[in-house]
């Protein structure tokens, strides 16, 4: 994980700790101990968990090392048109957006999801790459202007990002 993103996560964690109501909409876990991480995780996910063992930001939650195994059941419900049923071992559920899973392609590290299209995710006919890697996903979609693309309406996390000056597209690479 790049140093800039690591510092941003630490700064936001400290800022959230000073806000008494922040647990209602956000929580950044402390970094996991290296021996607590499940074996076989992709390197960039391991790096993230070492910095923040679980990230809840508004309607998006990335699993902690202790909850990661418990959300893999989403793989069982992936629509047949997606590549997940044919290569279940090649995918990892890394979190959720509202109650809908966020997937990582183990081979490329890319983050995928079923974009909203008026139907439940498991009956969807669209499955798209959201970010090329977990670092880009966290930087742009969780801690930046892309958050608005993932959520249907403004919420307290969106307001927090705005207060922190993190929603300005000009400061982001747009990945």
The model's pLDDT over 64-85, given as tens digits with 9 standing for 90+, comes to 999 999 999 999 999 998 889 9
Does residue 166 fall inside a structural domain?
Answer: no
Which domain does 49 fall in, by range?
Answer: 3-161
The model's pLDDT over 115-154, given as tens digits with 9 standing for 90+, comes to 988 889 999 889 999 999 999 999 999 999 999 998 876 7
Does residue 110 fall inside a structural domain?
Answer: yes
pLDDT in the model for residue 44? 94
Does residue 171 fall inside a structural domain?
Answer: no
Q: How confident is the model at residue 96 (pLDDT cuts 50, 70, 90)?
A: very high
pLDDT in the model for residue 171? 47
* pTM listed for this prediction: 0.91
The model's pLDDT over 33-58, given as tens digits with 9 standing for 90+, comes to 999 899 999 999 999 999 999 999 99
CATH number of 120's domain: 3.40.1580.10
pLDDT in the model for residue 169? 73
Does residue 52 fall inside a structural domain?
Answer: yes
Q: Is the pLDDT of residue 32 over 90?
A: yes
Q: How confident is the model at residue 60 (pLDDT cuts 50, 70, 90)?
A: very high
How many domains does one find in the chain?
A: 1
Residues 6+ apart with CB under 8 A from 92: 41, 42, 45, 68, 72, 103, 104, 106
Does residue 175 fall inside a structural domain?
Answer: no
Q: Is the pLDDT of residue 173 over 50?
A: no
Does residue 173 fall inside a structural domain?
Answer: no
HSE toward the beta carbon, residue 127, CA cutoff 13 A: 20
SS3 for the chain, per residue?
Answer: CCHHHHHHHHHHHHHHHCCCCHHHCEEECCCCCHHHCCCCCCHHHHHHHHHCCCEEECCEEECCCCCCHHHHHHHHHCCCCCCCCCCHHHEEEEEEECCEEEEEECCCCCEEECCCCCCCHHHCCCCEEEECCHHHHHHHHHCCCCHHHHCCCCCHHHHHHHHCCCCCHHHCCCC
Does residue 11 fall inside a structural domain?
Answer: yes
Residues 6+ apart with CB under 8 A from 113: 97, 100, 101, 102, 103, 127, 128, 130
Does residue 73 fall inside a structural domain?
Answer: yes
């Amino acid at each position: 994980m790049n140093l800039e993103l690591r510092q941003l996560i630490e700064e936001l964690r400290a800022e959230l700790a000073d806000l008494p109501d922040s647990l209602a909409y956000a929580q950044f876990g402390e970094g996991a101990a290296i021996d607590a991480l499940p074996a076989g995780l992709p390197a960039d996910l391991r790096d993230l968990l070492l910095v923040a063992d679980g990230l809840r930001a508004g309607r998006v939650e990335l699993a902690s090392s202790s909850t990661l195994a418990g959300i893999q059941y989403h793989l069982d419900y992936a629509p047949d048109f997606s590549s997940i049923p044919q290569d279940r071992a090649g995918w990892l559920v890394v979190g959720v957006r509202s109650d809908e899973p966020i997937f990582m392609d183990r081979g490329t590290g890319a983050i995928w999801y079923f974009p909203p299209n008026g139907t439940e995710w498991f009956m969807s006919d669209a499955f798209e790459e959201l970010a090329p890697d977990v670092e880009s996903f966290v930087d742009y979609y969780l801690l930046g202007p892309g958050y608005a693309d993932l959520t249907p309406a403004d919420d307290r996390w969106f307001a927090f990002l705005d207060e922190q000056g993190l929603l300005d597209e000009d400061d982001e690479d747009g990945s």
